[in-house]
Amino acid sequence: MGDSDLWRELGQQLRVDAVRASAKAGSGHPTSSMSAADLAAVLLAAHFRYDFDDPKSPANDRLIFSKGHASPLVYGLFRAAGVLSEEEFMTYRQFGSRLEGHPTPVLPWVDVATGSLGQGLPIGVGVALAGKRLDRLPFRVWVICGDSEMAEGSMWEAAEHAAFYELDNLTAIIDVNRLGQRGETMHGWDLSSYSERLRAFGWHTIEIDGHDVEQIDAAYREAESTDKPTAVVARTIKGKGYSKVENQNGWHGKAIAEEAIQELGGLRNITVDVPKPERVERHRFEPTPQEWPSYEVGSKVSTRKAYGEALAALGGERGDVVALDGEVSNSTFSEIFRDAHPERFFEMYIAEQQMIAAAVGMQVLGWKPFASTFAAFTSRAYDFVRMAAVSRATIKVCGSHAGVSIGEDGPSQMGLEDLAEFRAVHSSTVLYPCDGNQTAKLVRAMADLDGISYLRTTRGDTPVIYEPDEEFPVGGSKTPRAPDDEDVTIIAAGITLHEALEAADTLGSEGISARVIDCYSVKPIDAETLRSISTPIVTAEDHWAEGGLGEAVLAALADAEERPAVSLLAVREMPHSGKPAELLAAAGIDAEHIAAAARSLVRAGAPA
Binders in 151-190 for a copy of itself, by CB under 8 A: 151-157, 160, 164, 180-182, 185-186
| Residue 171, helix vs strand vs coil | strand
Backbone φ and ψ of 62, nearest 5°: -125, 135
Cα gap 119→385, rounded to integer Å: 11
Nearer of residues 150 and 442 to a copy of itself, judged by Cβ: 150
- Smallest CA-to-CA distance from 254 within 69, 118, 73, 103 is with 69
Please pick, from the candidates 72, 315, 403, 550, the single residue that binds a copy of itself as defined by CB under 8 A.
550
If binding is defined by CB under 8 A, does position 560 make contact with a copy of itself? yes
Stretch that binds a copy of itself, among 80-88, 149-157, 263-271, 502-510 (CB under 8 A): 149-157
Packing angle, helices 352-364 and 153-164, rounded to 10: 70
Specify whether the CB–CB gap between 534 and 562 falls below 8 A.
yes
Specify whether the CB–CB gap between 73 and 33 falls below 8 A.
yes
Nearer of residues 8 and 401 to a copy of itself, judged by Cβ: 401
| Smallest separation (angstroms) from a copy of itself to the CB of 295 | 24
| Smallest separation (angstroms) from a copy of itself to the CB of 465 | 27
Stretch that binds a copy of itself, among 4-12, 193-201, 314-322, 394-402 (CB under 8 A): 193-201
Nearer of residues 13 and 154 to a copy of itself, judged by Cβ: 154
Please pick, from the candidates 57, 427, 513, 529, the single residue that binds a copy of itself as defined by CB under 8 A.
427
Residues 6+ apart with CB under 8 A from 211: 11, 38, 236, 237, 240
Element (H, E) at 542: strand 537-544
Please pick, from the candidates 558, 606, 607, 608, the single residue that binds a copy of itself as defined by CB under 8 A.
558
| Residue 377, helix vs strand vs coil | helix
Stretch that binds a copy of itself, among 194-202, 393-401, 477-485, 486-494 (CB under 8 A): 194-202
Nearer of residues 112 and 465 to a copy of itself, judged by Cβ: 112
CA distances from 81 to 53, 213, 269 (A): 11, 19, 10
Specify whether the CB–CB gap between 423 and 430 falls below 8 A.
yes
Binders in 51-70 for a copy of itself, by CB under 8 A: 68
Q: Which residues pair with 396 in a beta bridge?
A: 370, 453
Nearer of residues 45 and 73 to a copy of itself, judged by Cβ: 73
- Kind of pairing, strands 521-523 and 429-431? antiparallel
Of residues 207, 352, 499, 541, which has the active-site annotation? 352
Nearer of residues 28 and 131 to a copy of itself, judged by Cβ: 28
Q: Is 582 exposed, middle or buried (0-12, 13-18, 19+ CB in 10 A)?
A: middle
If binding is defined by CB under 8 A, does position 142 make contact with a copy of itself? no
Backbone φ and ψ of 424, nearest 5°: -85, 35
| Residue 334, helix vs strand vs coil | coil
Please pick, from the candidates 117, 145, 434, 445, the single residue that binds a copy of itself as defined by CB under 8 A.
117
Specify whether the CB–CB gap between 489 and 517 falls below 8 A.
yes
Is 352 annotated in the active site?
yes
Q: Is 92 exposed, middle or buried (0-12, 13-18, 19+ CB in 10 A)?
A: buried
- Smallest CA-to-CA distance from 142 within 257, 22, 231 is with 231
Stretch that binds a copy of itself, among 47-55, 78-86, 480-488, 575-583 (CB under 8 A): 575-583
- Kind of pairing, strands 170-176 and 230-235? parallel
Stretch that binds a copy of itself, among 128-136, 364-372, 423-431, 475-483 (CB under 8 A): 423-431
Q: Which residues pair with 257 in a beta bridge?
A: none
If binding is defined by CB under 8 A, does position 491 make contact with a copy of itself? no
Tell me the site size for a copy of itself, rule CB under 8 A: 111
If binding is defined by CB under 8 A, does position 566 make contact with a copy of itself? yes
Binders in 199-228 for a copy of itself, by CB under 8 A: 199-201
Specify whether the CB–CB gap between 311 and 443 falls below 8 A.
yes
Nearer of residues 379 and 521 to a copy of itself, judged by Cβ: 379
- The length of the chain in residues reads 608
Element (H, E) at 65: strand 62-65
Binders in 522-541 for a copy of itself, by CB under 8 A: 523
Nearer of residues 42 and 522 to a copy of itself, judged by Cβ: 522
Nearer of residues 138 and 460 to a copy of itself, judged by Cβ: 460
CA distances from 87 to 21, 91, 92, 398 (A): 11, 7, 10, 44
Cα gap 201→558, rounded to integer Å: 53
Please pick, from the candidates 135, 175, 551, 590, the single residue that binds a copy of itself as defined by CB under 8 A.
551
| Contact mark string toward a copy of itself, 579..608, x via CB under 8 A | x--xx--x--------------x-------
CA 305, 307, 310, 313 dihedral sign is: negative
- The one-letter code for the residue type at 205 is T
If binding is defined by CB under 8 A, does position 342 make contact with a copy of itself? no
If binding is defined by CB under 8 A, does position 416 make contact with a copy of itself? yes
Binders in 23-52 for a copy of itself, by CB under 8 A: 25-28
| Contact mark string toward a copy of itself, 355..394, x via CB under 8 A | ---------------------xx-xx-xx--xx-xx-x--
Stretch that binds a copy of itself, among 34-42, 50-58, 98-106, 272-280 (CB under 8 A): 98-106
Please pick, from the candidates 144, 328, 402, 507, the single residue that binds a copy of itself as defined by CB under 8 A.
328
Please pick, from the candidates 138, 410, 463, 524, the single residue that binds a copy of itself as defined by CB under 8 A.
410
Catalytic residues: 352
